[in-house]
Chain A
Amino acid sequence: MPPVPTRPGEKILEQVRRAREHQLTPGAEPAAEQYLTVRLQGEWFALRADYLVEILPLRRITRVPSVPELIVGVINFRGEVLSVIDLKRFLALPQGEPAADAAIIVVEHDEIRTGLLVDGVGDLAPLSLRDLADESLGAGKARCGCFEGVGRLGDGLVSAINVGRLLQSEGMDAPTG
């Protein structure tokens, strides 16, 4: 019987580790690009697994005064203080009711770790992206520069968010208002 995961996201992170090991193995065929699917206001989006550090269950987030609303606050992650961004606010999605399975996805870009608040976490899935067409975007058209493509997942499509572009986008790189 396989061991029961003791932490949220443990199973997915194990898949990430294996995929990375596979890519590092000499002679191994390149693995398909892996994406983590996340739910925002009932809609599924995807984040490339390369950026993924950890998936945390929702925990207390300390609010910070005088910052844009999309920055929810800060958390202590293993002795490091991280900013947490509300991905729904970033994509201009309605806030709705707090989700019972909300989570914080810790991502790393340019050696900086940041938390992304999402309504729920799906699974790790290989996605082949096709060029993003504006009409494919269900939400967040104002932020479409942060999307890297659309992939097929089951019967539907998911928009893949480029974490690097997100963290360098307008409103993240310079003070606003």
Chain B
Amino acid sequence: MEHGTAQTSLAVLTFGVGPFLLGTEASQVARLVRPTFRGRDRIPVVDLRRRCGLEPPFGAAAARGHLLVVPGAAGEMAYLVDQVGEIITVNLARQMWPLPPLIERQKRWPQLWGVCEWRDELVLLVDLAWEEAQGVRIQESEESVGVESRPVDPRHLIPEP
């Protein structure tokens, strides 16, 4: 984005949690890592299956997930998701909307904030930096996990043309 010009598009990192197709502003995610029971580096983790009202994965299923690592003033926080999709470029004027009023009133997950369109799909948008910015403490059941030492920089994912 150039200075003095209005932003017209946003890069969104898509990911899947159970049946839900979600996305977050790609710049919020510093790196993608795999959870591991052996990793020495440990970071606090939030299981997004719980946030979505789903049963958390167990054992091997949990290990197959991905962690989206989000930096914050108090350190890094990781969000456990089932699958990571691609980085998409969304036109702000034509492909992005706030949540419909009914859902805005009824949602129980404050980080949910909007909807964007990608091909024929609608992607629910979440603000992963919000929780850290609000100083929300991680519940004991979501304490921390080890992570692999070789991260993937999400910026290396190739955006769609």
Contact = CB atoms under 8 A, between A and B. Distances in A.
Nearest to B100: A83
Contact of B108 (A60, A62, A67): A67
Nearest to B121: A62
Interface in B3-40: 17-22
A71 B124 contact: no
A64 B103 contact: yes
A114 B102 contact: yes
Contacts of A176: 106
A82 B102 CA distance: 9
A60 to B, nearest CB: 8
Interface stretch (A26-34, A48-56, A72-80, A98-106): A72-80
A68 B117 contact: no
Interface residues of A, number: 28
Interface of A: 60, 62-68, 71, 74-76, 79-83, 85, 112, 114, 167, 171-177
Given A74-B100, A114-B100, A172-B106, A65 B20 contact: yes
A176 B120 CA distance: 31
4 smallest A-B Cβ distances: which pairs? A65-B52, A66-B109, A62-B122, A83-B102
Nearest to A70: B106
B75 to A, nearest CB: 26
17 contacts: A64-B112, A64-B124, A65-B18, A65-B52, A65-B112, A66-B107, A66-B108, A74-B100, A80-B97, A83-B103, A112-B100, A112-B102, A114-B100, A171-B106, A173-B105, A175-B106, A176-B106
B94 interface: yes
Contact of B106 (A62, A71, A82): A71
